[in-house]
C-alpha cells in the first residue's frame, strides 16, 4: 500500500454508543430545561408523571444518534454526499425528539 492510498483511506466513524449517548444527553438536557421552570402539576396527575418525558425523549434522542451513525458512512465523499446525510439526520433527530416529547407530556387531565 502506497502512501497516497493511506491518505485517501477514510477515518472510522465514532462508535455507535458515542453517537447514541450524545443524542440522548442532548434530548435529556432539552427536557430538563423545559421541565424546570414549570410549576405544580395538576392535582390528578400521578406522583411520578415526570418520569415518562425524562425516559422517552432521551430514548428517542439515542435513536436519532444511531440514525446519524448509520448515515455517517456516506459522509466521506464530500460535497452533497456529506451535506445531505447531515441535514437528513438532523431532521430525523428533531422529529424523533419532538414526537417523543409531545407524546410523553400528554398526561392525564
Reported as a single tens digit per residue, the pLDDT across 43-80 is: 777 788 888 889 999 999 999 999 999 888 777 776 77
pLDDT of the residue at 32: 92
* DSSP-derived secondary structure letter, 2: -
Alpha-carbon span 95 to 29, nearest angstrom:
16
Alpha-carbon span 26 to 108, nearest angstrom:
26
Alpha-carbon span 53 to 105, nearest angstrom:
6
Alpha-carbon span 38 to 34, nearest angstrom:
7
CB 72 within 8 A of CB 16: no
Q: pLDDT > 90: what percent of the chain?
A: 44
CB 44 within 8 A of CB 108: yes
CB 38 within 8 A of CB 89: no
Range with lowest mean pLDDT among 28-37, 56-65, 89-98: 28-37
**Better-scored residue on pLDDT, 4 or 68:** 68
Global pTM exceeds 0.85: no
Going from N- to C-terminal start, the domains of the chain cover 52-109
Amino acid at each position: 500500500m502506497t502512501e497516497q492510498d493511506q491518505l485517501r483511506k477514510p477515518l472510522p466513524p465514532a462508535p455507535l454508543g458515542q453517537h447514541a449517548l450524545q443524542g440522548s444527553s442532548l434530548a435529556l438536557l432539552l427536557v430538563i430545561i423545559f421541565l424546570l421552570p414549570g410549576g405544580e402539576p395538576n392535582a390528578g396527575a400521578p406522583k411520578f408523571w415526570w418520569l415518562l418525558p425524562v425516559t422517552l425523549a432521551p430514548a428517542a434522542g439515542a435513536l436519532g444518534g444511531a440514525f446519524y451513525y448509520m448515515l455517517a458512512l456516506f459522509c466521506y465523499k464530500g460535497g452533497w454526499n456529506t451535506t445531505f446525510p447531515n441535514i437528513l439526520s438532523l431532521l430525523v433527530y428533531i422529529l424523533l425528539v419532538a414526537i417523543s416529547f409531545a407524546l410523553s407530556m400528554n398526561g392525564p387531565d
